[in-house]
């Protein structure tokens, strides 16, 4: 997790996402391996660097780093929609037991940000540079 560079940008953006399958069913364990492979493929394709991924039976934690050109809402929409479609393609008979009417993920999600410095450190830095 450190600073990354592109042509005109130096950045360190890390997002922690958490979301659940529809109805918060504890159904992810039997499909965990294919779901993890799908997360990794999507993140590779869209240039999201996975820092940590944990799949629990009833929710997912995805901690990633990416370029600032990607909005967090775009990231979560992309990852959730592609993984949902792929899981239905690969596991339809299994998913039909839990997810009547289609869908895969709940619409809601949690997002938090993380960096290498605290907000207090940033505030002190801004205050110091303001008085120069």
What positions carry a catalytic annotation? Answer: 125
- Angle, CA 85 vertex, CA 82 and CA 89 arms, to 5°: 135
Which is it for the CA torsion 79, 52, 113, 19, positive or negative? positive
CA dihedral 118, 120, 124, 127 (to 10 degrees): 120
> Which residue has tokens 């869209």?
46
- Could you tell me the CA-to-CA distances from 111 to 2, 48, 76, 125 in Å, in that order? 20, 15, 9, 26
């Amino acid at each position: 997790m450190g600073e990354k560079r592109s042509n005109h940008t130096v950045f360190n953006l890390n997002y922690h996402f958490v979301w659940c399958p529809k109805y918060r069913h504890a159904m992810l364990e039997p499909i965990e391996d294919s779901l993890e492979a799908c997360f990794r493929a999507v993140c590779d394709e869209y240039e999201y660097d996975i820092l940590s991924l944990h799949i629990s039976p009833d929710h997912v934690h995805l901690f990633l780093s990416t370029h600032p050109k990607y909005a967090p809402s775009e990231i979560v929409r992309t990852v959730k929609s592609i993984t949902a479609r792929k899981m239905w393609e690969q596991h339809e008979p299994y998913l039909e037991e839990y997810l009547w009417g289609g869908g895969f993920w709940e619409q809601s999600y949690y997002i938090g940000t993380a960096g290498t410095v605290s907000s207090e450190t940033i505030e002190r830095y801004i205050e110091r540079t303001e008085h120069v």
